[in-house]
Amino acid sequence: MSQPVHGVPTPDPADGLSRLMSLATGYWSSAALIAAIELGVFEAIAHGHVTTDDIARQCGCTRPYLEDLLCAMESLGLLVHDRRAWRLPDEWLPFLSPDSPRSLVPALAMNRDLYPLWSRLADTIRTGRPPAGAADHLGADPERTRRFVLAMHSRAMALGERLLPLLDPGPVSTLLDVAAGPGTFSRLLAEKHARLRAMLADLPAVIAIARELHTNSPAASRLAFMSADYRQHVEWGGPYDAILFCGALHQETPDTARELFERLSRHVTAGGRLIVVDLMREDGPTHPMAALFSLNMRLTSAQGRVWGVADAADVLEQSGWLVTGRVGAPSLPYWRIEAQVATSERTS
């Protein structure tokens, strides 16, 4: 066994050649990680299969090839090898152990569906036509829809500690979560606020899986579920103290967002708020995560993109809302824009 390497050295920004080579081969690391997830390597190790031979048997792999993959994971700092045994590093254990409540394994596995699309990015940009649509993971393909919803749940559980303060409406009594997906953030909010009752709304195939995810939550009795296509749905019930629209703005155009926000303005209490949270661009250089996610959206949606913070605030104002605050998450390009219905709109 070669000397362990704990992580790939970061290229010197001043060394242009080194940086270009690192960028050009960056997909090697992604492909290796996706393969390890698909083969069940981390699950095998987490469940006590720690020798190379044992992992090979558990995962049904050819040993010499598997050893190369394990060494690649070690070089990336995702595995540690000592005394002929493999283990997960302590810092990665919460995210790579399938049994952890914060496991990112389902979210990482979803990249298997996205990975082939990136090879067609140049054609997408040339023609303006995405190689795939969102229908498969929004109900048309039941297996892919389940993978998508479980992936979003796993990602929300992993990021909850960092993003929940951005989503939190405070001590309100009623919350409508539009485009709730797995509904994980509303569940976490309801577990935090004992008085909060949340209505989770999404497409029928998505909301059916969301129902399954939260049956054991201590807040389960305060979670309700609504099958609704938010682009067409009109009667949301309520009125609600707060409406959350999280992680879906990137699917909308200014026109469709404006129309949605106008409809939602009729379903808040006096003084009620709309909270919009998503990956967004700031003025100035774009965070790489936001810039690359915008390209990812172009691969599955003819209109998908990452919005600018100012653009989102402008559309809210045009929809009859008064923007009362905007704040970004520390170290991540997620933004919260909070608004109340303008007085003139409320009284008209």
**CB–CB of 166/336 below 8 Å?**
yes
- Residue 209 CA to residue 331 CA, distance in Å, equals 31
202 plus 328 within the same structural domain: yes
Q: Do 140 and 224 lie in a common domain?
A: yes
Please give the single-letter amino acid code of residue 89: P
pLDDT given at position 302: 87
Determine the distance from the C-alpha atom of residue 90 to the mean position of all C-alpha atoms in its chain, rounded to a whole number.
24
Give a yes or no: residue 64 inside a domain: yes
Q: Same structural domain for residues 284 and 156?
A: yes
- Work out the average pLDDT over 80-85: 90
Which pTM does this prediction carry? 0.88
128 assigned to some structural domain: no
- Provide the pLDDT for residue 7: 44
Q: What integer is the mean pLDDT of 130-153?
A: 81
Nearest to 30, CA basis, from 64, 78, 98, 62: 78
Residue 325 and residue 193: Cα distance in Å, rounded?
Answer: 22
Q: CA 95 to CA 21: how far, in whole Å?
A: 29
Same domain, 137 and 93: no
The total number of structural domains that make up the chain: 2
**One-character DSSP codes across 289-345:** HHHHHHHHHHTT-SS--PEEHHHHHHHHHHTTEEEEEEEEPTTS-EEEEEEEE-HHH
Q: What is the pLDDT of residue 183?
A: 96
Looking up residue 76, the CATH number of its domain turns out to be: 1.10.10.10
Structure tokens at 280: 């967004």
Residue 275's region, left for phi above 0, alpha for psi from -120 to 50, else beta, is beta
Query: Cα(136)–Cα(127) distance, rounded to whole angstroms?
Result: 22
Q: With left for phi above 0 and alpha for psi between -120 and 50, is residue 205 left, alpha or beta?
A: alpha
In a domain, 8, yes or no: no
Domain of residue 45: give its range: 16-98
Do residues 151 and 75 share a domain? Answer: no
Q: Report the sign of the C-alpha dihedral through residues 288, 291, 296, 297, in that order.
A: positive
Q: Closest Cα partner for 169 from 348, 25, 339, 346? A: 339
Q: Are 225 and 147 contained in the same domain? A: yes
Predicted pLDDT at 6: 39
Chain mean pLDDT for the chain: 90
Residue 73 inside a domain? The answer is: yes
- Model pLDDT, residue 15: 78
**Distance from C-alpha of 121 to C-alpha of 274, rounded to nearest angstrom:** 35
* Whether 256 and 208 share a structural domain: yes
Structure tokens at 329: 């998450």
Going by the DSSP 8-state scheme, the letter that residue 224 receives in this structure is E
Alpha-carbon gap, residue 311 to 298, rounded angstroms: 19
Mark whether 159 and 53 lie in a shared domain.
Answer: no
Model confidence pLDDT, tens digit, residues 45-71: 999 999 999 999 999 999 999 999 999
**Whether residue 168 is found in the same domain as residue 245:** yes
Counting other chains too, the contacts that 151-154 makes at CB distance below 8 Å and 24 or more residues apart are 151/106, 151/107, 151/109, 151/110, 152/107, 152/181, 152/182, 152/184, 152/247, 153/106, 153/181, 153/182, 153/184, 153/213, 154/103, 154/104, 154/105, 154/106, 154/107
Using the structure block, give the residue that is written with the tokens 């913070």. Answer: 309
Q: Which of 77, 98, 119 is the last residue of a domain?
A: 98
What is the CB neighbour count within 10 angstroms for residue 6? 10
Same domain? For 290 and 197 the reply is: yes
User: Considering the domain boundaries, does residue 46 fall inside one?
Assistant: yes
Is residue 94 domain-shared with residue 180, that is, in the same domain?
no
Residue 116 domain-assigned? no
Convert the pLDDT of each residue in 178-213 to its tens digit: 999 999 999 999 999 999 999 999 999 999 999 999
Specify whether 42 is located in the same domain as 141. no
CA 81 → CA 29, 45, 84, 160, 203, distances in Å? 18, 11, 7, 31, 45
**CATH code at 153?**
3.40.50.150
Residues 219, 185: contact at Cβ < 8 Å? no
301-328 per-position pLDDT tens digit: 989 999 999 999 999 999 999 999 999 9
How is the chain split among helix, strand and coil, in percent rounded to 5? 50, 20, 35
